Structure 1
Amino acid sequence: MNKLDRHDLAIIAALQKDGRMTITALSEQVGLSSTPCQIRLKRLQKQGFITGYVALVNKTKLGLDHVAFVQVTLASTNSKALAAFNAAVCTIAEIEQCHMTAASFDYLLKVRTKDMASYRAVLGEKISSLPHVVQTSTFVVMESVKDV
């Protein structure tokens, strides 16, 4: 594993707050001149510490107010079943996150839709028909206190 120093960590932290920051602003913030800062940034990208840049959008303004977490239990957890579920879950746009767990259930999904009716349709028509799903349990978010 590559060891990161304080400058590398500062570059990562700064870009997490503002991924559109210019190299000049970044170098000033982390205390390096532009060229060494740019070299470090390219190395962090090449080594996979920085994997991309995205626009964070206000999902509420887009009309996607309803958030639910879904526990999913599979009938089988052999390699083929897991691979089939993993591939299929990635095709459902409403599923923002999917995590395999070490718990009494197999996966935890974060699902975002416009309302409860839309969520019920996604659950009934998409999630429940994913490969090897035998049980789901939904937890509806009442308020997001911290969401990054």
Structure 2
Amino acid sequence: MALDRIDKLMLRLLQEDGRMSNADLAARVNVSPATCHRRTQRLFDDGHIQTVRAVVNPQSVGLGAIAMVGVVLDRSTPESFAKFETAILALPMILDCHLVAGDFDYLLKIRVADMADFSRLHGGVLIALPEVRQARTFFVMKEVKDAAPLDF
């Protein structure tokens, strides 16, 4: 179903504050609470809202370093991609994994405590991933913009 002006406004507001009460959201978009609830449920049912979760401060849980890792596989075959992707899905420390065009096959975003923590991960896990020929690591020096809300 196509999104109308109210749906889009609801999505923008919920991106800003996923804990906003239904009553507050209804008031902000100028519909009744019952209508707002039905619309919110439809946004979930139609897949426009995938999930609601807390954004945890990484430093507060000891994960203050980010490594971006470009991975090149041995072969560019559907089987190689499937093996690698299955292995990646089992690793919770890998926040993002994207199949990309360019110098790498995949680009990974990994959160770790520090460089020593990454070194252990690299030596014990990353280089042992199936089909990996090369991994190039880039350490993030400063997060300028991360997990920004969608603009539509």
Shared fold per TM-score greater than 0.5: yes
Matched residue, 2:101: 102
RMSD between aligned residues: 0.9
Correspondence list, 1:126-137, <5 A: 126-137=125-136
Q: Structure 2, unaligned stretches of length 5 or more?
A: 148-152
Cα distance in 2 between the residues matched to 1:89 and 1:123? 13
Counterpart Cα distance in 2 of 1:14 and 1:74: 41
2:77 matched residue in structure 1: 78
Specify the SS of the correspondent of 1:27.
helix
Indicate the SS of the match to 2:20.
coil
- Give the C-alpha shift of residue 51 in structure 1: 1.1
Q: Which amino acid aligns with 2:143?
A: S
Partner Cα separation in structure 1 for residue 75 and residue 39 of structure 2:
45
Match of 2:86 in 1: 87
Q: Say if 1:92 and 1:126, in contact at 8 Å, map to a contact too.
A: no
Q: Which amino acid aligns with 1:8?
A: D
Whole-Å separation in 2 of the counterparts to 1:45 and 1:93: 25
TM-score normalized with structure 2 length:
0.93
**How many residues are aligned here?**
147
Q: If the length of structure 1 is used for normalisation, what is the TM-score?
A: 0.96
Q: Distance in 1 between matches of 2:92 and 2:2?
A: 36
Distance 1:104 1:147 in 2: 23
Tell me the SS of whatever aligns to 1:60.
helix
Distance 2:48 2:108 in 1: 25
The Cα offsets for residues 78-119 of structure 1, whole Å up to 9 and x where unpaired, read as 111111111101111211110000112100000110010110
After TM superposition, give the deviation of residue 147 of structure 1 in Å. 1.5
Q: Does 1:48 align with 2:47?
A: yes
Give the percent of matched residue pairs that are identical in Structure 1 and Structure 2.
Answer: 39
One-letter identity of the residue aligned with 2:135 = T
Alignment partner, residue 147 of structure 1: 146
Q: Distance in 2 between matches of 1:10 and 1:76?
A: 45
Q: State how far apart, in whole Å, the 2-side matches of 1:31 and 1:103 are.
A: 47
| CA-to-aligned-CA distance 1:47-95 (integer Å, 9 cap, x gap) | 1001111111100111111101000000112111111111101111211
Query: 1:146, 1:101 → 2: CA distance?
Result: 20
List runs of 5+ in structure 1 lacking aligned partners: none
